[in-house]
Chain A
């Protein structure tokens, strides 16, 4: 047996905690319908009206219908919501959970509408209606609805057809349709839809952007303001697809150790209503990527692997997140204030939801508030709001590696926003324990 094969086999024997931690979450069958129904029933019993997004119907609408950017209302009759049974731990596989390297915090902080502060005392909490197998229990009786899987497949097909119809007249052919998601192609436009309504559209032939709006995912070479204009242009061009009324760009730049600058181009539907803006930021957003064409056989063999690619600056990918379509409102929950969250971050190591270990002795000038962020809990039950911070970390002090001159490294840190009085922590925290 070759050395690499032996290494591959021995990797199979590593600590089980690492195996559980990295389990491909989207395929895990959960007993979620049971808890979803219980939570919804509980909310109803407590006198809270269950708000339906109507999204299952929305997906069947034609391209020119279905604006989503109305002011959102989450009914609140003042009664106490049911306790949330969850550890509150974040699913580590989620977005925004990575150490970022930048010259300055402004490159990575993004445009969360609550970044500059907010006055919420309560926020809505959501849970999943549809499990990873496309089954759902819409009437909340605790049983999977008969024929729900077929119905959901039909709805997903409608969504893929709708997406493809903006770019081609060709019919969508399905390549794969299983519990992981649905993937298809119409001509050289690939469309896919995964678990929680994340739609991806990839163009075999990139869509040409005007010179002034060309952007590059890697080594963009543009200012954040220029990149924002490009995103605005794309949002305007595809406004019917995105269904945004007031697109707001959010640009994030992150360097790697080879000095490449990786830019994330995001947008969400802004609103003058603070709650609608926050919900849209978290559940009604889009991301755009440009093409990257491999020009050498083995880029990893190069000193800088990204020298092995070339970029035209044209649009190769549109991703939309309509996860609220697949979620159900549980109730409005009292939340701690920003000041309380900040205090917990500084003085209460037990309060960190993630990461598990932040450096001791956090300095106030090395902590940056990024706004309120909804994250999926590790037990797959809820989307809970968290106060999100970036904390400057110092890998060179821990001997991990030396940062290039002028670079800083930031780690996201989350503090659960829902007051702990409304949480009930179960004994088991992950689906497969």
Chain B
């Protein structure tokens, strides 16, 4: 039992941080948001050169065969620097492909992802606002699959080669499908969001014809559920990195900013806010690690713990960014200060891979505290 990263994981963190500090600090992300949001290929090449695009891919396919817990380190750094690159979705997609029963079908794809030559993104969110209930559908047609529907929160779609899409089949079962973005019938449009560091696209599938092996075959566990769960902990880790940077900036500011002849950080009102920021961060951190470990070690309460972590982290990020802006005073509300970039990201992270409402439903189910109408419908179904 041990809930801290080991030396090797910390070394990986350091190499990522050094790279981002030198080549892509937040000031550069800012330029990205103010220009045309074209992904910097040099940035992606740098990320690939760090050897982190294949960490969740088994060694046989050119990866490192590590676990989502290792990926947390990377996502913390991505969230700290708000790095505008599809690291999270690409890693998640690689993990899902690698865990499909028909992984052999994706051998080539996985090798390309491991090398950083191919990027795969994820499409879950629809206009209904749901991440977990797709209306995008797939039908059998003349020996192949026909995909129809629209996803609205597909990050970095224009820079990606493929997208993993959640869709419902004719039996009413939800699954994941690998779709090349250049396939006929796929169209892609950028949608403006509150967070320009993370370009989102609307991707429409109109009678897209796919081979049968596009469907990821579940093992013991549903890959769609895995997608929501692992996506959630990765998002939490990003939030953690963001919160840590906010605290760092705010703590420095509180020590430098002089009012009434003293640093404002010497006033108890400010001290206690900063202390609470740290409490929020440490609490979320422990829970994120704990929940991720439960997932990796297949503990039966993992779904409950991940939902708990997602809710708690969303709330923590909100509080930390709120106090960060407040302590910075007028500076914190200015466009030129980084604080609003984190405020924007916190808004997206709260929702990505399921908003608190969705995760609360999971918690209610796992704790046996469902709404009456849910328990009745569950009884009718069974």
A is bound by B: no
